[in-house]
Amino acid sequence: MRKERQSFSREFKLEAVRLMEEGKKPPAELARELGLRRNQLYKWKEQTDKCGGNAFPGQGRPPARGSTAEEINRLRHELTKVKEENEILKKAAAFFARELK
């Protein structure tokens, strides 16, 4: 049976990292008490070190910025066009298959 994915608030993550940095308890013990895996604490600490106060902005990945967003939009339009072309080809193939019978 699949385990339901947990989500933790930004405050919880920051507090867990703070407790780990205090060093009063080993990370493995702290993780057990918080109901986490030890590697999750290390990932949160890495994010906090990397992003500082901007760590854990919300659910999922942060929105794309600049040229990445433009590239995503361009690829979405291209995908839509290719899907339409594919549908036309499917209909044409079905039409010609009926003609050959």
Tokens 């080993």 label which residue? 26
Q: What is the pLDDT of residues 25-78, one digit of tens each?
A: 899 999 999 999 989 999 999 988 888 777 777 665 666 667 787 888 899 999
Identify which has the larger pLDDT, 79 or 23.
79
- The whole model's pTM is what? 0.53
Written as six digits, the tokens of 47 are 């994010």
- CB under 8 Å to 58, separation ≥6 — which residues? 10
Per-residue model confidence (pLDDT) at position 62? 60
Number of other residues whose CB lies within 10 A of the CB of residue 101: 4
Per-residue model confidence (pLDDT) at position 43? 92
Burial of 76 (0-12, 13-18, 19+ CB in 10 A): exposed
Burial of 98 (0-12, 13-18, 19+ CB in 10 A): exposed
